[in-house]
């Protein structure tokens, strides 16, 4: 339980998404920086979740335990629900209620097809696409219902960048690529540090290989780490009958990944890229990110 706080950060560096594009890995890299005070919950969802929002500003600031204004320049968090337009368009309005607070945003993107595939797998495992709102769809395999329209909307990268630029200005948001972080995490880290106007840090504390980066960015790795810990705790406090029901529910979701198709076929990829054509063009024209050279997308 976190105590209410009357002191805390007045500036925040927030990784806002996109979902399933390496926000956890980027958070893990940045949290090592001495000028950044990491949130005790990587993804607090304060500005997006109704329950979290209802807990108040002091509660949110209290999540940055150990914040020292003489040391830390920003509080750091990474909530991907902050970039889920058009479904969560209240986020900007809530942020702008704090005119005394300085926000800086990092928006990490991934190859659109890879992101959408990962999105479907995540939804099959968790049962959710948007926060904690239950979707109408229960089977997220591509054979069951094709490509999720939500997944496509969340991959309209330029649209999300435009929204942040409109709300906070072009200088307030930095686009980065998941693939760049895997290939050269130090360069991405330097770019983010320059954007935040904080000192660059050595790469000595970073993963030493692409394999390590891939491991830390793998959502299954994070999920299993949390599950192991929670299972040990739950075993001592949750009745056996309840544990059994939870196990069956978790097993059913995990089995969904083996019973359905979670790789796109060519016509599905073509459909997605056609849906994203105008957005990818704007991503190139406005933000200088060329899908052809960066992701080998020529559609």
pLDDT value, residue 117: 97
Between β-strands 11-17 and 74-78, what pairing exists: parallel, antiparallel or unpaired? parallel
The answer to whether 276 touches 298, Cβ cutoff 8 Å, is no
pLDDT value, residue 7: 77
pLDDT value, residue 255: 67
pLDDT value, residue 246: 41
pLDDT value, residue 1: 47
Secondary structure percentages of the chain, helix, strand, coil, to 5? 55, 10, 35
pLDDT value, residue 80: 96
> To which residue do tokens 């200005």 refer?
169
> To which residue do tokens 């899908």 refer?
291
Q: What are phi and psi of 106, to 5 degrees?
A: -120, 125
Split the chain (299 residues) into runs of 10 and give each run's mean pLDDT. Answer: 64 97 95 95 95 96 96 97 95 95 98 98 92 85 95 98 97 98 94 97 57 42 38 41 46 66 96 98 97 89
The answer to whether 11 touches 37, Cβ cutoff 8 Å, is no
Cα distance between residue 5 and residue 164, in whole Å: 28
pLDDT value, residue 259: 76
pLDDT value, residue 211: 38
pLDDT value, residue 250: 56
Cα distance between residue 64 and residue 69, in whole Å: 11
């Amino acid at each position: 339980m976190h105590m209410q706080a009357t002191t805390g950060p007045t500036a925040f560096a927030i990784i806002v998404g996109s979902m399933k594009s390496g926000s956890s890995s980027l958070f893990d890299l940045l949290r090592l920086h001495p000028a950044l005070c990491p949130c005790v919950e990587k993804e607090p969802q304060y500005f997006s979740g109704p329950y979290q929002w209802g807990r108040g500003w002091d509660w949110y600031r209290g999540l940055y335990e150990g914040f020292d204004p003489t040391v830390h320049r920003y509080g750091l968090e990474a909530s991907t629900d902050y970039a889920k337009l058009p479904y969560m368009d209240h986020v900007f309005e809530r942020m702008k209620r704090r005119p005394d607070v300085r926000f800086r945003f990092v928006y990490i993107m991934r190859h659109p097809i890879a992101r959408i595939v990962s999105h479907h797998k995540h939804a099959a495992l968790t049962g959710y696409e948007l926060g904690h709102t239950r979707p109408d769809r229960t089977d997220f395999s591509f054979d069951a219902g094709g490509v999720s329209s939500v997944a496509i909307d969340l991959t309209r990268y330029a649209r999300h960048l435009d929204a942040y630029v409109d709300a906070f200005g072009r200088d307030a948001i930095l686009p980065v690529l998941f693939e760049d972080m895997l290939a050269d995490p130090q360069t991405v880290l330097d770019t983010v540090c320059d954007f935040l106007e904080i000192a660059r840090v050595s790469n000595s504390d970073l993963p030493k290989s692409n394999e390590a980066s891939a491991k830390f960015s793998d959502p299954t790795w994070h999920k299993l780490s949390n599950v192991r810990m929670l299972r040990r705790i739950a075993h001592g406090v949750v009745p056996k009958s309840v544990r059994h029901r939870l196990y069956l529910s978790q097993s059913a979701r995990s089995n969904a990944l083996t019973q359905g198709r979670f790789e796109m076929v060519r016509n599905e990829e073509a459909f997605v890229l056609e849906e994203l054509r105008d957005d990818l063009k704007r991503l190139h024209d406005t933000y200088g990110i060329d899908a052809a050279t960066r992701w080998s997308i020529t559609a």
